[in-house]
A = this chain, B = another copy of it.
Amino acid sequence: MDSAEFLDILGNANRRRILRLLAERPCYVTEISDFLGVSPKAVIDHLEKLEAAGLVESRTDSKRRKYFSIARHVRLEVTVSPYEFGTKSAYPASSRLDITSCRQLSIDLEHDPETADSGVTASEVEPDDVVSLTEALHDVEQLENELSLAQRWAQGKLTELREHLESVLDDEQSRLLADLLLALADDSADTETLGREVGAPPGVVEELLEKLVDEGIVREDEGTYRLIDA
């Protein structure tokens, strides 16, 4: 599901209330309608939209009553800043994902002494007793909170560094220059590629790159530009 579709769906307060209710327990239409104080017809309309988006699914029980539940796990992140309006929506990453491939992040889930301090995640650990499972779940909940806090920290840092960079560049085109530099920090590239990445015409990009080369910030080698080493 793309972020725009997700935001359209979440933009309605009653649909949010339905999702909140179904996350507590699967429900019949009449239960939802009673709980929300909304007509069954309106509830059915919302459920149809939620089903079409793949967020909700329905089953029929032995008494042939249809009940609804949340179909799958989806996550959405929205960032609004003077430099970015970003939306990301995604299904959860597989628990077999190799988090150790992260360069700047290490995770240490304490309930797993074998992998602690090694930056390796506890993805293979599946304790079977209730107490260990509860503690593992509690650790992952805490980790989730810490990740959320770290992301807010990173967002603040991004804005701060970006403002600083643009003020140091001190140019009418500071914003575009910063975009270009960031694209070059990712990888060396030619004018055309850079133009596509920053959304500016090749002519403008070339002029700015020449300025950066003159200032000794960027090097050019057979049409490919790269950031000089710090």
Which residues of A are in contact with B by a Cβ distance under 8 Å? 4, 6-8, 10-13, 16, 19-20, 22-25, 55, 69-70, 72-85, 87-88, 90-95, 97, 99, 102-111, 121, 123, 126-144, 146-162, 164-165, 168-169, 175, 178, 181-182, 184-186, 199, 215, 217, 227-230
CB distance from A85 to the nearest CB of B (A): 4
CB pair A106–B103 under 8 Å, yes or no, is no
Contacting residue for A182 out of B90, B137, B217, B230, CB 8 A = B137
Q: Would A93 and B152 be within 8 Å (CB), given that A78-B10, A165-B133 are in contact?
A: yes
Can you identify 29 A-B contacts, CB atoms within 8 angstroms?
A19-B80, A23-B83, A23-B85, A72-B80, A73-B80, A73-B156, A75-B78, A75-B155, A88-B148, A90-B152, A92-B155, A93-B153, A99-B150, A104-B107, A104-B109, A104-B139, A104-B142, A106-B106, A123-B157, A126-B164, A130-B217, A131-B229, A133-B161, A135-B185, A137-B182, A138-B185, A143-B154, A144-B158, A151-B151
A55 to B79, CA, bound (A): 11
Q: In the assembled complex, how far is the CB of residue A225 from the closest CB belonging to chain B, in whole angstroms? A: 13
Known contacts A104-B143, A110-B103, A142-B104: does B164 contact A20 (CB below 8 Å)? no
Tell me, rounded to whole Å, the shortest Cβ–Cβ distance linking A44 to chain B. Answer: 20
Chain B residues lying within 8 Å of A160, measured Cβ to Cβ, are 95
Copies of this protein in the assembly total 2
Contacts of A130 in B (CB 8 A): 165, 168-169, 181, 215, 217
Known: A103-B146, A150-B147, A152-B90. A77 touches B80 (CB 8 A): no
A130 to B76, CA, bound (A): 33
Q: Which residues of B contact A134 (CB under 8 A)?
A: 165, 178, 181-182, 184-185, 227
A111 to B18, CA, bound (A): 46
With A104-B143, A161-B136 as given contacts, are A97 and B23 in contact (CB-CB < 8 Å)?
Answer: no
Could you list 7 further interchain pairs (A-B, Cβ under 8 angstroms) beyond the known A10-B10, A22-B85, A76-B77?
A4-B16, A75-B80, A93-B149, A93-B152, A93-B153, A104-B139, A123-B157
**Is A150 in contact with B105, judged by CB distance below 8 angstroms?**
yes
